[in-house]
Structure 1
Amino acid sequence: MLRILMKIGKVHPALLQRLVFTRRGAARGDVVVGPAIGEDAAVVDLGGKYLVTHTDPITGSVNLLGSLAVYIPTNDVAVRGVEPMWLSVALLLPPGASEHLLDAITRQMDEAARRLGVTIVGGHTEVTTAVTRPVAVVTAMGVGNRFVSTSGAKPGDVVVMTKSAGQEAASILASDFAEEALKRGVPAEALERARGLIAEISVAKEALALADLATSMHDPTEGGVANGLAEIAYASKVSIDVRREDVVVYREVEALCRAFRIDPLETLSSGVLLATVPRGRLGEALERLQKLGVPHAVIGEVKPPSGYLVKIGDRRYNEPYVEDKLFALF
């Protein structure tokens, strides 16, 4: 039997469909949304209310691990239009890890969870030879009266983004690869601004504010804005046209991504909310974001299926899979 080695990062959608999504155990009628390409979180009908739950491994940073362990999985609950409430955290530390490291990670987790009003209800912590750097595997949960799916985008909807493409990648590069960034000519002040972007990684407030307006919401993580849009298009069976010049990229993000030869539209972008909104309700959506003080931009439009998933300028994306070059640095 031919053994094909998989690339680092998310498993390709074709393999997920063949080897993961077809092996889900017993079927239950209370599962409203299960595993699917582009869907951020599972939805379970509790009888009048919905449990939204999502699990994420945090593997792309060491210095920001505790903060990302809270913000990233709670984002996936929030983009369902449901308030994140609880976290369960499995923390795996490599041999030789110090108490100082554990203290730094849990301190970040506590601060981020308090900021969001989320409770860490349980989990597991151990030192193991199975990892060579700290890893957190986190399940976020929340309960709501309704939910938004990734698959709801409709032709004619307008695409809105918040904050900056690539901002999560930039914060990681500025924290975990600061010395190398300086060697590559990134100014120290750009590194300082990029490190501050960790405070903008949560999308909870803007996602909850748009929950009753958006037809689809998504949190673009690995593969960035390009992959996030492709996942919305794939799940919704539509195409999406985006004006590249309208996609927001902060200067510090541009500087770091250029130094490491990473496309800011194709790398970790937690903190960006991608939302599709009916054109007739766009003004209301933008007004809400303005009141929250959340930077935002209108970047494109949902189209009927047109032979591609996403077109950004002259670049076309035909599958919901964009390789993220950040992971090659670890």
Structure 2
Amino acid sequence: MKVGKLHPQLLRQLVLARRGAWRREVVVGPAVGEDAAIIDLGGAYLVVHTDPISGSVKLVGRLAVFVSTNDVAVRGVEPMWLSVSIFLPSAAGEGDLDEIARQIDEAAREIGVAVVGGHTEVTTAVTRPVVVATAMGVGRRYVTTGGARPGDYVLMTKYAGQEAASILATDFGEEAVRRGVDKSAVEAAKSFNISVIREALALADFATSMHDPTEGGVAGGLAEIAYASGVSIVVDRGAVLTRPEIEALCRAFGIDPLKTLSSGVLLATVPPNQLDAALNKLRGLGVPHAVIGRVVEKSDYLVDISGEKIHEPYVEDKLFSLF
């Protein structure tokens, strides 16, 4: 099988068809494109999401916190608790564990999340550190990935490919310079904000759907929204936000910024009558944002990005081939 996410067809066939016992309180369970489980507690909703970090080495602890909590936040619910499992190869030293645990602690403190449990072990099953985080939160309402409707506007925050650029700058910085990327661009790419909590919570009352584009990037995230919602999405590639340092790093490694890890980007669909209010919220937060497209009736494609059509809720992310 290919490295990275499973193809949706294989996922549906071998994984999603096997969900254990039916429970009436499960509002949203595992499904292609949906970010987190939603469980009805009776008057409140528990949101739970688990994510592994396997496509980074030096940022693995920090990414574990932000990537998992982002998927709770895009449900419109504040992330509150985190359970983390750390798997270390036998070649790892105490300093490696110390750095990972420090990153987890600092990132969790930044966003007000408590680390409440987990597991740590050294194992021959991995060749580099792998961190698996489960984030949880409780709220009174929720947003799904599958709520987009024809006529909605598509908004994004921050910059396509920013997570991949941070990983390239941190784990492959010297190689990037050898490939012609300016050192200043490499340094600049290390500091992107990869949390969407503020803007996701701010847009929760306006958005019909929200999504955190991780593997497969903005293109993959849009395809997942379209698939989950039963619609198509038309996007102007020129309107998609990115930055020169992201483009330089991605170009050096043959990666499309729109098709690679983009944690920190929020994708949201907003009805026309809520667009101004949503944009005002984002301006008030000072978060870079743009209107990049519209939701349309379901067609023979999921996403049309300036003529490039995506037909499946799956976009191969070339970043993973580097590890």
Instruction: Specify the TM-score bucket, using the shorter chain as the normaliser.
Output: over 0.9
**Aligned equivalent of 1:168:** 163
1:54-65 to structure 2, matched below 5 A, reads 54-65=49-60
For 1:91 and 1:185, how far apart are their aligned partners in 2?
Answer: 35
Aligned partner letter, 1:18: Q
The answer to whether the aligner puts 1:300 opposite 2:293 as a matched pair is yes
**Aligned equivalent of 2:141:** 146
1:43-192 to structure 2, matched below 5 A, reads 43-192=38-187
2:239 pairs, out of 229, 243, 246, with: 246
4+ runs deviating over 2 angstroms = none
Shift of 1:249: 1.1
**Aligned equivalent of 1:260:** 253
Aligned partner letter, 2:272: R
2:273 counterpart SS class: helix
- The number of equivalent residue pairs is 323
Aligned partner letter, 2:233: I
Q: TM-score, normalised by structure 1?
A: 0.97
For 1:86 and 1:35, how far apart are their aligned partners in 2?
Answer: 20
Q: Percent identity?
A: 70
Aligned partner letter, 1:32: V
The answer to whether the aligner puts 1:216 opposite 2:209 as a matched pair is yes
For 1:22 and 1:60, how far apart are their aligned partners in 2?
Answer: 27
The answer to whether the aligner puts 1:193 opposite 2:183 as a matched pair is no
Unaligned runs of 5+ in 2: none
The answer to whether the aligner puts 1:320 opposite 2:313 as a matched pair is yes
For 2:50 and 2:227, how far apart are their aligned partners in 1?
Answer: 21
For 2:167 and 2:197, how far apart are their aligned partners in 1?
Answer: 20
Deviation track 1:199-230 (CA, whole Å, cap 9, x = no partner) reads x1000000000001000000000000000000
For 1:8 and 1:211, how far apart are their aligned partners in 2?
Answer: 34
Aligned partner letter, 2:102: R
- Aligned-residue Cα RMSD (Å) equals 0.5
Aligned partner letter, 1:133: R
**Aligned equivalent of 1:228:** 221
**Aligned equivalent of 2:302:** 309
Aligned partner letter, 1:292: L
2:186 counterpart SS class: helix
For 2:113 and 2:4, how far apart are their aligned partners in 1?
Answer: 28
Shift of 1:147: 0.3
Q: TM-score, normalised by structure 2?
A: 0.99
Shift of 1:116: 0.3
For 1:46 and 1:77, how far apart are their aligned partners in 2?
Answer: 16
